[in-house]
Structure 1
Amino acid sequence: MAKSMCSIVMLAVIIAVVSVAPPRSEAAISCNTVANALSPCVNYVVYGGVAPPAECCNGARSLYAQVRSTPDRQAVCSCVKSVASSATPAMISNAAALPGKCGISIPYQISPSTDCSKIQ
């Protein structure tokens, strides 16, 4: 159960990372791709800490590099929202802190209430 909650928070991080990539017209990123990229972030999202592990930030950056279109960004957002519904407020807070702690700039707050359809 804690593992699924961690996945939810990590997906929220993905939303933030994906939102700043330039557009392209290819297929959307799958939820499996999102989960695999952010899996090293699970412990940080669940338990917090001073800094996320390097593998977590590397995974987030790798995902960011793959997301280049509006459909990609919206797909990542949808994956995150589907998991976020069962995350605790602390987990969401930890996930929201990841982009900044990994040096990734995003144009919105990570939140389960993010409207994925408005992500460009």
Structure 2
Amino acid sequence: MAGLVKVACVVVMCVALVGAPLAEAITCGQVVSRVTPCISYIQRGGAPSPGCCNGIRSLAGAARTTADKQTVCNCLKLTATQVPGYNDRNAQAITSLCRVNVPYKISTSTNCARIRF
């Protein structure tokens, strides 16, 4: 329960950081809602759930511009800091396990400013 409260706080922080997004821009809230099914995999390993893979696939498809990809990356990094038991190795493996191609690794060490379309 405490983990979900932290994730909710991250959503509020992301919305505040992003401000009033453009109608088609991805928001941090959308990112968090799509990766929430991945939290148990990131913490414990095993195999990502179908919901997790669908969320990652959905994010990859929605993030079409450089700005969107950077928003997703920054939000994932911020969210990771709020997940109790976060395992960076598991987070990095999600895209390959879900067979989703993204232009960066999902990691707290990724430099989101270097992501280009």
With normalisation by structure 2, the TM-score equals: 0.71
Cα deviation for residue 111 of structure 1 reads 2.2
Query: CA–CA distance in 2 between the matches of 1:3 and 1:48?
Result: 17
Deviations along 1:2-52, one digit per CA (max 9) or x if unpaired, are: 726x96xxxxxxxxxxxxxxxxxx753111100111111111111111x21
Q: Residues 57-76 of structure 1: matches in 2 within 5 Å?
A: 57-76=53-72
Report the residue type matching 1:46 in the other structure.
Answer: Q
Bigger CA radius of gyration: 2
Partner of 2:34: 37
Unaligned runs of 5+ in 2: 8-22
Q: Which protein has greater RCO, CA pairs closer than 8 Å, 6+ apart?
A: 1
Q: What is the aligned residue count?
A: 101
Query: CA–CA distance in 2 between the matches of 1:47 and 1:98?
Result: 12
* Residue 109 to residue 59, structure 1, CA distance change in 2 (3 Å): closer
Is residue 27–residue 71 contact of structure 1 (8 Å, CA) maintained in 2?
no
Q: In percent, how many aligned pairs have the same letter?
A: 41
* Residue 36 to residue 90, structure 1, CA distance change in 2 (3 Å): closer
When the two chains are superposed, the root-mean-square deviation of aligned CA atoms in Å is 2.7
Query: CA–CA distance in 1 between the matches of 2:65 and 2:113?
Result: 13
* Residue 88 to residue 111, structure 1, CA distance change in 2 (3 Å): farther
